[in-house]
Amino acid sequence: GIQVEQSPPDLILQEGANSTLRCNFSDSVNNLQWFHQNPWGQLINLFYIPSGTKQNGRLSATTVATERYSLLYISSSQTTDSGVYFCAVVLTGSNSKLTFGKGITLSVRP
């Protein structure tokens, strides 16, 4: 099956710093989503971005489907950005399941 690798596994930032989270995938995809999981387990949608670039406030994301990677940028980080960030993809030709990476644990310190 498709492999999804996220890096780095853990990230510690000082409040106000910028960061880049990476997602590599091993095969062609027709869906890619970024999520933020809060301490209570809720997966919050950040971006639906099978290709191209999107921005939402301090967050932006870029997916280069032909090179099989996606990047999530967080600027001017805040303590509320802490949590686990997941990338999830749907393999081209499949129409059912999201395959998740192992996640990136972000800690933003005041």
Partner 1 sequence: ETGVTQSPTHLIKTRGQQVTLRCSSQSGHNTVSWYQQALGQGPQFIFQYYREEENGRGNFPPRFSGLQFPNYSSELNVNALELDDSALYLCASSSGTAGRYEQYFGPGTRLTVT
Q: Which is nearer to partner 1, 40 or 57 (CB)?
A: 40
Q: Compare residues 76 and 107 and give the one whose CB is closer to partner 1.
A: 107
Residues that bind partner 1 (CB under 8 A): 4, 30-31, 33, 35, 40-43, 45, 48, 86, 88, 90, 92, 94-103
User: Could you tell me the smallest distance in angstroms from the CB atom of residue 48 to partner 1?
Assistant: 4
Find the shortest distance in angstroms from Cβ 54 to partner 1: 12
Q: Identify which of residues 31 and 60 has a Cβ nearer to partner 1 in the complex.
A: 31
To partner 1, the closest distance from the beta carbon of 79 in angstroms equals: 22
Q: How far is the CB of 25 from partner 1 (least distance, A)?
A: 13
Q: Helix/strand/coil (H, E, C) string of the chain?
A: CCCEEEECCEEEEECCCCEEEEEEECCCEEEEEEEEECCCCCEEEEEECCCEEEEECCEEEEEEHHHCEEEEEECCCCHHHCEEEEEEEEECCCCCCCEECCCEEEEEEC
| C-beta separation of 50 from 32 below 8 A | yes
